[in-house]
Chain A
Amino acid sequence: MSNKQMPKEFYTMMEELQSIDFVLVDLTLYLDTHPNDYKAIQQFNEFSQARRQLKNQFEERFGPLQQYGNSYSNYPWNWNESPWPWQI
């Protein structure tokens, strides 16, 4: 319910993730109907790699973004620790 105040980097890294993901979402839908666009696929793979790195950096500082084994956990289990999207 409460709005936890996070360090400044939480917000800047989150926005960076959101902007990389915007490229990836839009390219995904584009490639769904243009599967032979080589350059777009190259761009997709480049951003996909950058995304993976940024996700790891974010999670090292602020805890898991995903569950079911797609993110590591600290001790104790810290899935619930950082604010939920509507609490930011």
Chain B
Amino acid sequence: MWIYEKKLQYPVKVRECNPRLAKYLIEQYGGADGELAAALRYLNQRYTIPDKVIGLLTDIGTEEFAHLEMIATMIYKLTKDATPEQLKAAGIEDHYVNHDNALFYQNAAGVPFTASYIQAKGDPIADLYEDIAAEEKARATYQWIIDMSDDPDLNDGLRFLREREIVHSQRFREAVELLKDERDRKKIF
């Protein structure tokens, strides 16, 4: 089971209301390489991956939910005081007429989240390579959002998340090596 803790993994601050930045950030909420996709991908792969890496997939998958909450907090804080005019100026009036200020699992272009973002191949190496790629793509997305953002407080949180993608990628690479070692040992009689 999971235990919720009433606390963010890392503090989230924003300088001011800025719905345009929220529009970019929704990519990491409900986009293909976003935090929801990451959490669901790893936690779903756990059941058929070799025992040696189940702990890692469980722990990274769980951390992704903490990142999802950070992204949600950023979007919430960037939009909670926005007027309809500000939302219109930011180009998210399409979102507003459907959802008001509520969050929705979609990407920056408004495409709803789909399970087809997530693969589960049943082949441990293929699955872990997908996970490494997912982390690298998420890292790149964070970089592009930081490049577009002029909010230093927001960027502090985004940099933390970008660094976590690097650590996750590293751990997944090590997991691949652990499985290769195990496979090679089995061939020696």
A residues near B (Cβ < 8 Å) are: 1, 14-15, 17-18, 21-22, 25-26, 28-30, 32-34, 64-68, 70, 82, 84-86, 88
Report Cα–Cα, A67/B3, bound state, in Å.
Answer: 7
Q: Which of A14, A25, A32 contacts B7 (CB 8 A)?
A: A14
Query: By DSSP majority rule, is chain B's interface helix, strand, loop, or mixed?
Result: helix
A2 to chain B, nearest CB (A): 10
Report Cα–Cα, A85/B112, bound state, in Å.
Answer: 25
The reply to whether A86 and B72 contact each other, CB–CB distance below 8 Å, is yes
Q: Which of B7, B168, B178 contacts A85 (CB 8 A)?
A: B7
B60 at the interface (CB under 8 A from A): yes
B171 at the interface (CB under 8 A from A): yes
Chain A residues positioned under 8 Å from B6 (CB to CB): 64-66, 82, 84-85
Q: Which of A22, A32, A64, A86 contacts B55 (CB 8 A)?
A: A32
B76 at the interface (CB under 8 A from A): yes
The reply to whether B72 and A18 contact each other, CB–CB distance below 8 Å, is no
B126 to chain A, nearest CB (A): 19
B184 at the interface (CB under 8 A from A): no
B148 at the interface (CB under 8 A from A): no
Size bin of chain B's contact surface: 20 to 34
The reply to whether A86 and B56 contact each other, CB–CB distance below 8 Å, is no
Report Cα–Cα, A34/B178, bound state, in Å.
Answer: 10
CB-based nearest B residue for A21: B9
The reply to whether B60 and A29 contact each other, CB–CB distance below 8 Å, is yes
24 residue pairs bridging A and B, Cβ less than 8 Å apart: A14-B11, A18-B7, A18-B10, A21-B9, A28-B59, A29-B56, A29-B60, A29-B63, A32-B53, A32-B59, A33-B56, A34-B174, A65-B7, A66-B3, A66-B4, A68-B1, A68-B3, A85-B6, A85-B8, A85-B73, A86-B12, A86-B69, A86-B72, A86-B77
The reply to whether A70 and B3 contact each other, CB–CB distance below 8 Å, is yes
